[in-house]
Structure 1
Amino acid sequence: MSPFSKQIRKLISLNRLKPWQAIASIPLGLALAIATGTSALAAPPRTPDQNVECEILIVGGGLAGTATAYEALLAGRTVCITDITDWIGGQLTSQGTSALDESKKQRSLLFYARGYKELRDSLLNYYGKINPGDCWVSASCFIPSDANKLLFEILDGAAKKGGGQLKWFPNTTIKELEVSSDGKIIDGAIAIQHRAAPNTPPLNTEPLSAIVEDAYRYENSPRLTKTILHFTAKPSTETKSSSTPKWYVVEATETGEIIALADVPYRLGIDPLSHLNPSSPSAAGDPFCTQGFTYTFALQQTEQPQPQTKPSFYDRYLSYYSYDPKPNKFDFDSVFTYRRIWAPNAESRPKATVFRVGAPAPQDISMQNWVWGNDYRPGTSEDNLIYSREQLQQLGQLVPGSWMGGLRTETLRKGEEIALGFYYWLVAGTTDSHLGDGVKKPYPNHLLLTGLNSPMGTMHGLSKYPYIREGRRIVGRPSFGYADGFTVSELDISRHDYREDYYRQNLTPKMYRDMWVALAGLESVVAVRGASIEQISRRTRSSIYPDAVGISQYAIDFHPCMTLSPPEAKGNTERAGVRQAHGMAFPAQIPLRAMIPQKIDNLIVASKSIAVSNIAAAAYRVHSFEWSVGAAAGTTVSFALEKGIPPFQLVEDMPRVKPELMELRDRLEKNGNPTAFPDTSVFNLSWDDWKVW
């Protein structure tokens, strides 16, 4: 069998494509390389249309990328941001999850990064209240399109105040990285910016799955016209050695695109069971079981019933939809008000539902993000959304010039379908997959909000991009105590009761003892010397890091993958054991070591792709965390450019702390970006007030 035939078979197997679809999906350069046995050319098909110089290139305009830009602009830097959508703000805007996930104590003290506090102030000034939706899941629910406008105003203010320059590149994907001959420096990046082709509908008319592959191809298409961009370092006036990076690339994508494209070590999905991640349900790990992703949408209550059109694919997903597995826990009004984002004068209405919020009324708008509704939760190699490294190799996406974003388009499409089907189920369905037939009532007095001026800014009504809870996660560089590479683990943050019988029964005796040694508090020396496990008192705080550059607190919150493929299969269940780790977490820190990948010296991670286990990632993914890690990234790379010190050199002697690292942490704190929660100390064991809810 020829190499070309083998590649076609891999594509058919991985994507369930027809042979002719598989052939059409292979980039021309890769097809020629496979057919001839030569290497695919990395050069674009024509000279780039535009050269762009930056001090900092931020790939991904989500909340972490926005926060990175905010601090870098205040530091006077020239900042480029790219995003596949035309909005900044990520989960707040283009992903539609405009309900701030916050912990109660942290919110009461407003103990956040300065830019996040400015965002909250902007929302309050804009609406006259912090919670214009009167939702019950959060203290602040609002309209995504408004947040996009406010974030641009915040960045504009930062640029004016700090003297920085923002270069914004919407509808842009990174296609290739130019890496130095020694593999340590990203010298440049080739990107593709798209716009609607002449005489075609505007962008955001079709959902993402319809254009995502086109967006990663150099060639113009009947639908998209492309501009090829070449990002390089801006010449610096600062004195540096020739070995010092002249610019920095910040990974702030939602799925860890750049760490996959750069091929630095990373993990995906469930980590193997270990004494540091003792709640893992898999002895070997599973890269295909990641948390579910969600296309959000907005629906508005109306005075009169609305005509509702049943989607052609609706019956395929009907066996999935439910208010909740627990009888009578939720109903339509509680689901509607859960993430209600607009409710004029709600405070004057009668209280409704067990959550005591203003009763729903015509003109109210609700954003939907529901686990047994529009969550799509694939978990096998046949349907996983984010391709593993092995799958990327099989597909040829790691061949130069052949990167296509690293996502399975078919799964994106099915995520869009299940979301549109969930809308129809809410307004017209009568069957609940957990509670049976006839228990669900129709609610036809509602309208799916569509149009470029709608809350989601799309003609189809879905968010521009799905809400991604978990992507690829780097493995940090080896350091003292982390021979295999630095990672924040479950034990570093969880409040779990590890004396439960579950752990003694599921861990080996050695693993169980090692877990308790790792959990030991001030008795750690006694534990290492062989004290009985019963004598060991677990610490009642998170791990404390001398290189902490940010903060995070939220519950370890799972939306588990499903057991079988496809996820919507009748009778399918969540993957057993994934929720074992679900629960409360201590206030935690963001170590700089978690943001520094292996191999490449001028790449920093400022998103959910930092070095954390998949269990820890379930807590390190909310809005305030994204802003804090972005603030740390923006400050760190500005500091690195100023001092001529690559970030890895700040932590290479850990646990010994360099003066420059202390200077960086001091700068963060003085700028209003906390690196630790109040009273963080090995001697402070009282964190009972710091509960999430």
Structure 2
Amino acid sequence: MMLRRFLPIFSLFLTITNVPTSAFASPPPDETVTCDIFVAGGGLAGAASAYEGLLAGKTVCVTELTDWLGGQISSQGTSALDERSTQRQLLYYPRGYLELRNRIQKFYDGDLNPGDCWVSASCFIPADAHQILTEQLLAAEKEGNGTLKWFPSTVVKALNRNATGNIITSVTAIQHQPATGAPPLNTNPLSETIEDWYRYEDSDRFEKTIIRFIAKASNWYVIDATETGELVGLSDVPYGLGIDPRSYLEPSSASETGDPYCTQGFTYTFAMEATETPQFHPEPPFYEKYEPYYSYELERLASFDLVFTYRRIWSPEAGERDRFGGIGFTVPTVGDISMQNWTWGNDYRPGTEKDNLIYTREQLEANGQLAPDGWQGGLRVETLGYGEEHALGFFHWLVAGTTDSQLGEGVKEPHPNYKFLSGLDSPMGTEHGLSKYPYMREGRRIIGRSGYGYPDGFTVSEVDISRKDYTDPYYQEVLSEEAYQNLQQEVAGRDTFDVIMGETGKNRTRSRIYPDSVGIAHYAIDFHPCMTEHPPEKPGNTEKEGERRGAGLPYPFQIPLRALIPQEIDNFLIAGKSIATSHIAAAAYRVHSFEWSSGVAAGTTAVFALDNDLFPYQLVDEQLIKEKQLQELRQLLEANGNPTTFPNTSIFNNDWQDWR
């Protein structure tokens, strides 16, 4: 069997000497909190980690930048569950995700889809999602006799490590609340407040509490379930960002050398309501700047009603049935509420070193965020602000715009009978009406530890999951002769010998099967590519050439334990979008049920490691089929109702075409 050779990710394959951050003094904490499991990030991955830890009787601490649990379905506003049809028909999900779906249905009196949207089987109000998920975690706490310690409005400031750097000994965090006389939380947009959150000192807006989190007993686990891989960047473990270099493992890459600045677009979502009468819509002062960007994108999507009902999250009265572009929906009626998340709409898609949202390691080092107590969240705040304006401009385009950047004149008409929903009691829970945090499609992605077949570090690559036709002449044109031959061998499966003997035209008929699988996922490889030039809204700007080449359908795929284990730190696990995947694979490993499944894997692995007095890397550091305790972990997951494989997807079943 040929060893897999993985090209280093563009300038971000890090080999560093750990300097224990405990050698530097932070301000003394106001309080110290003990945990068995510390989870940074209260999104779906973090909630799932906490859920499994609580059911196992552990003390779980959860910090979250916003004041809502739920991430995608609440604070980010994307409360429309992205699911593949085959998996949904079988209801083949982790137990906690199934419970979440059931709780949503029960909350809305038996209706899983109170918005009657057409993109999903379930669209609902983000503010309700926070309540639903909170009740679910409290129920798990009671059932498992665990302890939940919930810290909303809290950011991680420092990770303190032992003398050798391989153990996180404590986490320093800052919790904020409104200062006396200051406006409530969620009054101002994120871009105006986030930098303040990371400062130790009180301000005119916020009072701060410095919290030190430590192990409850002799050991504990820290899980990064943040939306951007924040602890990955802060800890400075090896990771990748943006586009990977083109190789036989990532043959559809849009860059021969890689591009760390081009990550998928982020989106500030918002809610709008259908009204009986026309509303007054004054043009925002910044609208002219962003107006050249907005579009319905495709002729088959060029219908206001289609876009409005796409992610409609509340519909008290069903309208008449209609169709456009082959898609059926019910016409909006007065009182309907829609959440907007549209590629050529409120997606903001920076892709250059002048505007990239997630700072690279080199940028972090240059602006002092890797210095002791220098961490400020790792994001370019100016870009957050532009994304906020861009989203508000899209609402104005929807209701008053008459241009279309992709389809030309005569397509877009005004639709004044709609209002923008804002206020602390609105669906987004903010005075300004935008989501509390943008929907993040991609963050920093760890490079796992080296091992057999992965000498430069483990990762899940494009060819491991994609149904792409790699016999397309394009791949022979852009790859070297050796790389093309390696690609053909990589996707040939049991026909590898035929390829070695010179036969071509083989293609993968299933995804890679991992003996250390600890979870499952299935979704399209779906891209919202960065734009080519700065700024993203520049008139005539285009998507980065070739970025959509990797898009398409994958086979159902697994979450290997090796993808959750970073290098260098032994009591650190990753959940959510920052597991070890390539840029193209990450485009599928990012939606709701995957986030939950990865959180289950991280939480259960932490529990198993604590109960068995071992480190997770010890489960995968030898030949996997001989790792007895690895199989015990997988059996525990399965026994708990958390599948690690899909039905009828084994080495004895090499044709998975029916999975859609």
The question of 1:121 aligning with 2:91 is answered: no
2:149 to 167, 183, 186: 167
Q: Classify 1:54/1:40 alpha carbon distance in 2 versus 1 (closer, same or farther; 3 Å).
A: closer
Deviation at 1:130, TM superposition (A): 1.1
Tell me if structure 2 keeps the 8 A contact 1:379–1:562.
yes
- Per the alignment, residue 305 of structure 1 pairs with 278
Alignment of 1:592-611 (within 5 A): 592-611=561-580
Offset from partner CA, 1:218-266 (integer Å, 9 cap, x none):
0111111111000000126xxxxxxxxx000000000001011110000
The question of 1:262 aligning with 2:235 is answered: yes
**Backbone CA RMSD of aligned residues:** 1.3
- Per the alignment, residue 65 of structure 1 pairs with 46
Name structure 2 gaps, 5 residues minimum: 1-20
Q: Distance in 1 between matches of 2:406 and 2:240?
A: 34
Q: Distance in 2 between matches of 1:506 and 1:491?
A: 16
- Per the alignment, residue 569 of structure 1 pairs with 538
Q: Distance in 2 between matches of 1:288 and 1:532?
A: 39
TM-score scaled to structure 1, two decimals? 0.91
- Per the alignment, residue 303 of structure 2 pairs with 331
Q: Which amino acid in 2 is paired with 1:274?
A: S
Q: Distance in 2 between matches of 1:312 and 1:591?
A: 49
Tell me if structure 1 keeps the 8 A contact 2:230–2:377.
yes
- Per the alignment, residue 8 of structure 2 pairs with none
The answer to which of 72-81 and 514-523 deviates more is 514-523
Tell me if structure 2 keeps the 8 A contact 1:41–1:401.
no
2:370 to 398, 419, 422: 398
2:322 to 332, 339, 351: 351
Q: Distance in 2 between matches of 1:355 and 1:538?
A: 32
- Per the alignment, residue 647 of structure 2 pairs with 678
Tell me if structure 1 keeps the 8 A contact 2:190–2:436.
yes
Q: Distance in 1 between matches of 2:434 and 2:317?
A: 27
Tell me if structure 1 keeps the 8 A contact 2:471–2:507.
no
1:139 to 121, 125, 128: 121
2:132 to 146, 150, 172: 150
Tell me if structure 2 keeps the 8 A contact 1:188–1:232.
yes
Offset from partner CA, 1:538-590 (integer Å, 9 cap, x none):
23000000000000100100000000000000110000000000100000000
Deviation at 1:654, TM superposition (A): 3.1
Q: Secondary structure at the match of 1:636?
A: helix
Q: Secondary structure at the match of 1:432?
A: coil
Deviation at 1:510, TM superposition (A): 0.8
Offset from partner CA, 1:316-363 (integer Å, 9 cap, x none):
001100011x335321111001101111232x6333544222111110
Q: Distance in 1 between matches of 2:22 and 2:90?
A: 55
- Per the alignment, residue 582 of structure 1 pairs with 551
Tell me if structure 2 keeps the 8 A contact 1:40–1:399.
no
2:502 to 494, 509, 532: 532
- Per the alignment, residue 171 of structure 2 pairs with 189
Q: Distance in 2 between matches of 1:574 and 1:40?
A: 44
Q: Which amino acid in 2 is paired with 1:339?
A: R
Tell me if structure 1 keeps the 8 A contact 2:311–2:338.
yes
- Per the alignment, residue 82 of structure 2 pairs with 101
2:193 to 182, 199, 211: 211
Q: Distance in 2 between matches of 1:654 and 1:619?
A: 28
Tell me if structure 1 keeps the 8 A contact 2:268–2:391.
yes
Q: Distance in 2 between matches of 1:305 and 1:273?
A: 52
The count of aligned residue pairs is 638
1:220 to 193, 202, 225: 202
1:320 to 267, 288, 293: 293
Tell me if structure 2 keeps the 8 A contact 1:113–1:628.
yes
Alignment of 1:642-653 (within 5 A): 642-653=611-622
Q: Distance in 2 between matches of 1:416 and 1:654?
A: 49
Q: Which amino acid in 1 is paired with 2:458?
A: F
Deviation at 1:438, TM superposition (A): 4.2
Offset from partner CA, 1:482-541 (integer Å, 9 cap, x none):
0000000000000001111111111111111100111112122443xx31142x632300
- Per the alignment, residue 21 of structure 1 pairs with none
Q: How much identity, in percent, do the aligned residues show?
A: 60
- Per the alignment, residue 422 of structure 1 pairs with 394
- Per the alignment, residue 229 of structure 1 pairs with 211
Q: Which amino acid in 2 is paired with 1:196?
A: P
Q: Secondary structure at the match of 2:578?
A: coil
- Per the alignment, residue 585 of structure 2 pairs with 616
Q: Distance in 1 between matches of 2:37 and 2:497?
A: 44
Q: Secondary structure at the match of 1:604?
A: strand
1:450 to 399, 422, 437: 422
Tell me if structure 1 keeps the 8 A contact 2:195–2:376.
yes
Q: Distance in 1 between matches of 2:456 and 2:503?
A: 26
The question of 1:499 aligning with 2:481 is answered: no
Tell me if structure 2 keeps the 8 A contact 1:479–1:654.
no
Q: Distance in 1 between matches of 2:300 and 2:497?
A: 50
Deviation at 1:113, TM superposition (A): 0.4
- Per the alignment, residue 72 of structure 2 pairs with 91
- Per the alignment, residue 313 of structure 2 pairs with 341
The question of 1:289 aligning with 2:262 is answered: yes
Q: Distance in 2 between matches of 1:262 and 1:492?
A: 28
- Per the alignment, residue 75 of structure 1 pairs with 56
Name structure 1 gaps, 5 residues minimum: 1-38, 237-245
Offset from partner CA, 1:452-478 (integer Å, 9 cap, x none):
111100000000000000000000000
- Per the alignment, residue 525 of structure 2 pairs with 556
Q: Which amino acid in 1 is paired with 2:485?
A: R
Q: Distance in 2 between matches of 1:601 and 1:150?
A: 34
Q: Which amino acid in 2 is paired with 1:152?
A: T
The question of 1:360 aligning with 2:332 is answered: yes
The question of 1:432 aligning with 2:404 is answered: yes
- Per the alignment, residue 11 of structure 2 pairs with none
Q: Distance in 2 between matches of 1:328 and 1:178?
A: 53
Tell me if structure 2 keeps the 8 A contact 1:64–1:630.
yes
- Per the alignment, residue 35 of structure 2 pairs with 54
Tell me if structure 2 keeps the 8 A contact 1:252–1:605.
yes
Q: Distance in 1 between matches of 2:589 and 2:251?
A: 18
Deviation at 1:439, TM superposition (A): 2.8
Deviation at 1:40, TM superposition (A): 12
Offset from partner CA, 1:82-113 (integer Å, 9 cap, x none):
01100011011100000110000000000000
- Per the alignment, residue 14 of structure 2 pairs with none
Deviation at 1:44, TM superposition (A): 2.6
Q: Distance in 2 between matches of 1:234 and 1:400?
A: 25
Q: Distance in 1 between matches of 2:136 and 2:491?
A: 42
1:250 to 194, 204, 223: 223
Q: Which amino acid in 2 is paired with 1:665?
A: R
Q: Distance in 1 between matches of 2:181 and 2:23?
A: 33
Q: Distance in 2 between matches of 1:660 and 1:41?
A: 36
Deviation at 1:433, TM superposition (A): 1.2
Q: Distance in 1 between matches of 2:376 and 2:24?
A: 14
Q: Distance in 1 between matches of 2:541 and 2:503?
A: 39
Q: Distance in 2 between matches of 1:619 and 1:333?
A: 28
The answer to which of 502-511 and 263-272 deviates more is 502-511
Q: Distance in 2 between matches of 1:103 and 1:658?
A: 32
Q: Which amino acid in 1 is paired with 2:627?
A: K
